[in-house]
Amino acid sequence: MEAREVGWTRPRIGWLKLNVDASLRLAHSSHPDVAAIGGVFRNSEGFWCQGFTTKQMVNPWKTYVKLSAVLMGSHGLTKGSLAYLNYPAQIMFKSTKVLPVMVMGAFIPGLRRKYPIHEYISAVLLVIGLILFTLADANTSPNFSVIGVVMIVGALVMDSFLGNLQEAIFTMNPETTQMEMLFCSTVVGLPFLLPPMILTGELFKAWNSCYEHPYVYGVLVFEAMATFIGQVSVLSLIALFGAATTAMITTARKAVTLLLSYLIFTKPLTEQHGSGLLLIAMGIVLKLVPDSKPSNRVAVRTDPTSRQGNSQRKEVMENGDDEEDEENQRLV
């Protein structure tokens, strides 16, 4: 076979040349077919002007199918429970979200979170304080229904999986971006959302309502933008601080929103409001207490100059790596 030299030829002055290349990796037992393409623009002097490449997804689609199913289940059960529970009753249940999130974190593969006792106490204080503060302003007492309670409890179970699954994805695949997770979970969640909307007729009612009141389109665009910013912020908090801390932050955010409404609109504060704020403040302060967790290092008292000591230290390190690998098993 005759060898041929391949070189790059400059374009004419004032022109740009585009060179592209592509690659394909065939399916294997551990990964599907993967294809990629890239290109580069260079001028007549050979200088790079612009380039492009395809960005591959970090996680497979089946990961986002699981995540979207949990996400749609949480939103659907939460909204549906309002048909059987009044708003104060729903707030009482949803305020406890941080507790199941902390408990479920101990069972999610790749996380196995173990929280110190003071963080559980902090979460309980925060939850009780928010419930007291919210119900102090309620015009009606909580109204409970068996169907509504089952639905809101199911939503809490979904919420406990949701945050921890998102944290596990960020932990297992650190290259995962908030944009990828938000886009893929939303796109995959659309098929879960459309069938019930069509069967119940809500999709056509919404379409007719928007047609009759065009200003609704502007409201929807604004709400979509605000939701996007909020979701990216929440996913960033989960990636940086974990699901439980994020749940506590969002719970405390509700209390801050309620307090600002009282300060801005000068509504009267009662003793129940004060008690709720005190418990919320105690929970936040307790959360800020540093964790005095002992180190997991194993000390081996041997002569550092001896071969036996070196071999023993190496064995301990290998055992530690094995335990860490077993702990960080893949989520998908």
Give 244-288 pLDDT, tens digit per residue: 888 888 877 777 777 777 777 776 777 877 888 788 888 878 877
Using alpha carbons, list the distances in angstroms from residue 310 to 122, 295, 300, 301, 323.
44, 21, 10, 11, 20
Q: Is residue 299 part of a domain?
A: no
Candidate from 31-45, 115-129, 199-213 with smallest mean pLDDT: 31-45
CA distance 210 to 207: 5
Burial letters 253-273, b for 16+ CB under 10 A, else e: ebbeebbeeeeeeeeebeeeb
pLDDT in tens, 177-209: 888 888 888 888 888 888 888 888 888 888 898
pLDDT of residue 295: 40
Domains: count for the chain = 2
The reply to whether 37 and 93 lie within a common domain is no
Q: Which two tokens stand for residue 45?
A: 């002097």
The reply to whether 182 and 207 lie within a common domain is yes
Establish if 275 belongs to a structural domain: yes
Residue 330 confidence (pLDDT): 44
- Over the stretch 35-73, which tens digit does the pLDDT of each residue have? 778 899 999 888 889 888 876 777 888 889 989 999 888
| CA 173 – CA 58 distance, rounded (Å) | 7
**Do 25 and 169 sit in the same domain of this protein?**
no
Asked if residue 195 is part of any domain, the answer here is yes
- Domain co-membership, 93 together with 40: no
Give residue 312's pLDDT: 44
pLDDT at 229: 92
Interval 65-80: pLDDT, tens: 989 999 888 888 888 8
DSSP 26: -
Whether 132 and 42 share a structural domain: no
Is 37 inside a domain boundary?
A: yes
| pTM for this predicted structure | 0.63
pLDDT of residue 327: 44
| Domain enclosing residue 33, as ranges | 17-53
pLDDT higher than threshold 50 for residue 238: yes
Is there a domain that residue 74 lies in?
yes
Share of the chain above pLDDT 70, in %: 80
pLDDT at 291: 63
Within this chain, do residues 209 and 80 fall inside the same structural domain, yes or no? yes
Helices (H), 82-214: 87-94, 98-104, 117-135, 146-172, 178-200, 202-212
One domain for residues 29 and 159: no
Residues 104 and 75 in one domain: yes
Spacing of C-alpha 124 from chain mean position: 22
16-29 pLDDT per residue, tens: 999 888 887 776 65
At 317, is the pLDDT very low, low, confident or very high (cuts 50, 70, 90)? very low
